[in-house]
Amino acid sequence: MDIASLAKMYIDAVKNDSIDGNTLTKLPELVTCTDWKKVEVVGKVNYVSPRTKIVYDGIIVKYAGGLYYVKKKVAETLGQFDRRFSKVSKEIKVL
């Protein structure tokens, strides 16, 4: 399964400003795209997976009909050029 198909599978994963921890760990990471202006910021997330101990500190975004995770460092870099990525106030709760 390609990354875009995987992202589209989880497009409705954020409900009532929350997401399941297991689903968050399966979201594909968006590192680059053809047009960052088409990316819609859903909210920020900070979560440590109890199983793998991987830290998810970044933002969740919608792009091209799919849901993606963007690392904090990438979001901060994008925030230098587009305020949408640096002024994220909505917190996504991880269940």
- For the stretch 56-74, pLDDT in tens is 999 999 999 999 999 999 9
User: Looking at residues 50-59, what average pLDDT do you find?
Assistant: 94
| pLDDT above 80: residue 10 | yes
CA distance to 4, 32, 81, per residue, from 45 (Å): 21, 19, 21
Q: CA nearest 46: which of 23, 29, 78, 21?
A: 21
pTM summary value = 0.93
- Higher-confidence residue of 87 and 41: namely 41
- Sign of the CA dihedral running 58, 27, 20, 36: positive
